[in-house]
């Protein structure tokens, strides 16, 4: 969803070329309706839209239990923390002006993440958290926790080898699937979100000062 037609046209062109079916809406309300009706594999949401803003669309999708991967487009750097904030459920973002190739790469990365791990991966447990990769479900203290696909993959990665310390760059490469130029702050923001959602069990994810993060065994 993008109200600037030249940008929308460019995104459509690049994604179509990659074999994606693309549906464009130029207005927020129409965009939300289309997302609900068409059930896309991913949504690219401009923040500044007439009707509903991109963040309002995302909030409404999430409120309705729709966890379709969302990649935000923003014209403002200072919006990033808010976009990635707990209540928004964003999976990634790009700041305008962006390269359409980068957008394609990010969408593919988000789809790889949300495709889930191979069958038969073991259930991981630590500090009251039970993470089931096959069902993509997480419980903390016996209570189901709703994580975005990115948050899930981040937690799964940390729980894969409890005690191992992962640098932010490693997590960015493994979980997000792209190199560190994207900014390691993304990792910090997502770790904070996962911790908050896990409640008391969130302390399992420990910050290793000056290095990165680990999950306590």
Name the site residues for Ca ion (rule: CB under 5 A).
3, 46, 48
Which residue, 42 or 49, is less far from Ca ion as judged by CB?
A: 49
* Closest distance to Ca ion from the beta carbon of 16 (Å): 21
User: Quick one: 72 or 213, whose CB is closer to Ca ion?
Assistant: 72
What's the Cα-to-Cα distance from 156 to each of 4, 14, 144, 150, rounded to whole Å?
A: 38, 32, 15, 10
Tell the smallest beta-carbon distance from residue 7 to Ca ion (Å): 8
Minimum distance from CB of 49 to Ca ion (Å)? 6
Give the sheet arrangement for strand 92-95, strand by strand.
43-46, 70-74, 92-95
Minimum CB separation of residue 59 from Ca ion in Å reads 17
Containing 186, the helix (H) or strand (E) segment is helix 185-198
Q: What element of type H or E holds 43?
A: strand 43-46
- Maximum distance among all alpha carbons in the chain? 51
C-alpha distance from residue 21 to each of 6, 16, 38, 59, 160 (Å): 18, 6, 11, 24, 35
In the complex, which residue's CB is closest to Ca ion? 48
Q: Cα separation of 57 and 81, whole Å?
A: 17
Nearest distance from residue 94's CB to Ca ion, in Å? 13
Other C-beta atoms closer than 10 Å to the C-beta of 110 total 22
Rank residues 96 and 160 by Cβ distance to Ca ion and give the closer one.
96
Helices (H), 121-184: 149-160, 168-171
CB closer to Ca ion out of 28 and 149: 28
Between residues 96 and 108, which has the closer beta carbon with respect to Ca ion? Answer: 96
Rounded to a whole number of angstroms, the minimum distance from the CB of residue 54 to Ca ion is 8
Measured from the CB atom, is 44 or 155 closer to Ca ion? 44
């Amino acid at each position: 969803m993008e109200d600037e037609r030249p940008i929308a046209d460019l995104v459509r062109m690049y994604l179509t070329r990659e074999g994606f079916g693309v549906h464009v809406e130029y207005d927020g309300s129409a965009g939300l309706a289309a997302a609900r009706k068409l059930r896309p594999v991913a949504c690219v949401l401009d923040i500044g839209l007439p009707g509903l803003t991109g963040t309002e669309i995302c909030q409404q999708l999430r409120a309705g239990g729709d966890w379709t991967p969302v990649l935000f487009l923003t014209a403002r750097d200072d919006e990033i923390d808010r976009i990635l904030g707990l209540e928004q459920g964003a999976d990634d973002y790009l700041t305008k002006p962006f390269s359409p190739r980068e957008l394609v790469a990010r969408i593919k990365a988000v789809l790889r993440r949300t495709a889930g791990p191979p069958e038969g991966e073991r259930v991981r447990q630590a500090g009251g958290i039970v993470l089931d990769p096959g069902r993509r479900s997480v419980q903390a203290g016996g209570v189901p926790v709703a994580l975005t696909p990115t948050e899930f993959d981040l937690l799964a990665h940390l729980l894969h080898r409890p005690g191992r310390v992962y640098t932010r760059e490693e997590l960015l490469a493994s979980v997000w699937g792209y190199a560190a130029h994207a900014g390691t702050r993304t990792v910090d923001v997502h770790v904070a979100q996962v911790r908050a959602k896990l409640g008391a069990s969130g302390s399992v994810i420990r910050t290793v000062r000056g290095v990165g993060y680990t999950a306590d065994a």
